[in-house]
Amino acid sequence: MTASSVRPQALVTGATGGMGGAIVRELARTHDVIAVGRSADALSELAAQTGATPWILDITDAEGLAARTAELTRLDVLVHGAAIAAVHTTETATPEDWERQFAINVFAPAELTRQVLPLLRESQGTVVFIGSGAGTRPVPGHAIYTASKHALRGFADVLRIDEQRHRVRVVTLAPGQTDTGMLRTQSAEMGTPYEPERYIKPSSVAATVRFLVDAFPDVHLTDIAVRPRVEIARL
């Protein structure tokens, strides 16, 4: 294989979730994809479908993650898809609740980005943070999740400024309500009906990631909101 025919490489966290899996399937058409998740069975199935390389990892394990990223010699695309969204109000949230959600939603993406930043600079790569409408507006009953998504967007904004001299592209992609297991669990916790026909399809989010990755080299897409076709006011 010649240098010109080598496929670009992408790394996707949260690969066993609804959005993460769809993103892996989409990018695998053109990229060598590393799919990161905690479920060995789900990753094995995804790898069989797509040819992706499975990394069975807890992304909050900085040392374990560093051992794997040290194996990389190239990285063109990094998609931060892993997140949790347990329902907590200020009254009910404990310090442990805050630390758990921030560890997965903010601290782990920041550390993984730091670990692979030299490779992204070399490739002038693209970093996609899967944010949320909660990154720009309050979501009742989700004090920690809202705060974490605001923090993630703030981190992405600073990263974009700091890395522009290296031509690394950084985008926050913020989907609204998407038909995933996470939203189904949230709806059950809050006692609200689950109406998948009203929500965004994970494949539509994945197609938007494709649009970002394939953007013309002279542009920098920064903040993309993907909302349900008919807006749902409760989030």
The runs of H, that is alpha helices, within the chain are 18-27, 40-50, 62-69, 95-102, 108-123, 143-163, 181-190, 202-213
The answer to whether the CB of 112 falls within 8 A of the CB of 69 is yes
Is 199 a residue of the active site? no
Q: Which of 30, 16, 117 is nearest to 75 (CA)?
A: 117
User: In terms of residues, how long is the chain?
Assistant: 235
Q: Which of 161, 163, 169 is nearest to 214 (CA)?
A: 169
Q: Is 173 helix (H, G, I), strand (E, B) or coil?
A: strand
* Ramachandran quadrant class, 51 (left: phi over 0; alpha: psi -120 to 50; beta: rest): left
Q: Which of 212, 192, 210 is nearest to 202 (CA)?
A: 210
User: Which of 145, 150, 183, 200 does the annotation list as catalytic?
Assistant: 145
Q: How far is CA 78 from the centre of its chain?
A: 9
Q: Which residues have a catalytic role annotated?
A: 145
